[in-house]
A and B are shown apart, each in its own frame.
Chain A
């Protein structure tokens, strides 16, 4: 089976930098994705890492270390609108050989003024 671990809650202030970690145990690993979900809304895609290293997209960056089964999402210059839940998800090969995502339980980020 698969397991993903990420902190349940993180609090930070506006303008700060926050890092949300994700560790995983899985077989058939292809890559690590990050999604943002505001309360009552649908998840929206933020990033995907298939290879080791850092991917930067604006204020958000994502890192992957395949050898450590570890990744993180880095949010810079935090804004109030960044208050949301953030999910890591591993792209894996299912028993059928087809690919799917398995999601972590999510990290609730609260940005304070």
Chain B
């Protein structure tokens, strides 16, 4: 079955530690995205990548970093510079066949203690 996987589902970290969230897709999609969602809010774009070895900052990139070394993988690192990292993080991909359709992973709920 094709899809997007994110791990882990729940993650706890101490303040000041960097943490990397995993996102893998086997849909053969070129474009991948990272969003942050706070309780009762919409999704805000952190970073996006249209192709391997290329990525751009979204609306709230400060305190985050990404890499895109493989088409299937788009890991997100939440650094200690991110002031309020506790949130629900969602990874998505788009294959271009239907422009406005993105496929989402199950999300990682990060809590910084």
Contacts and interface: CB of A to CB of B under 8 A. Distances in A.
Interface of A: 4, 30-33, 41-45, 48-50, 87, 89, 91, 94, 96, 98-106
Nearest to A1: B59
Interface residues of B, number: 24
Given A33-B102, A105-B40, A105-B41, 5 more contacts: A87-B43, A89-B43, A89-B100, A100-B45, A103-B42
A30 B99 contact: yes
Nearest to A88: B42
B32 to A, nearest CB: 11
A91 B94 CA distance: 12
Nearest to B58: A100
Contact of B101 (A32, A33, A41, A98): A33
B103 A101 contact: no
Contacts, number: 67
Nearest to B109: A40
A50 B100 contact: yes
Contact of A48 (B56, B58, B90, B101): B101
Nearest to B96: A99
Contacts of A49: 100
Given A98-B50, A98-B56, A100-B58, A45 B42 contact: no
A100 B44 contact: no
A64 B68 CA distance: 35
Contacts of B33: 100-101
B90 A43 contact: yes
Interface string B3-43: 00000000000000000000000000000010100001111
10 contacts: A30-B100, A33-B101, A42-B106, A42-B107, A45-B102, A50-B100, A98-B48, A101-B100, A103-B42, A105-B41
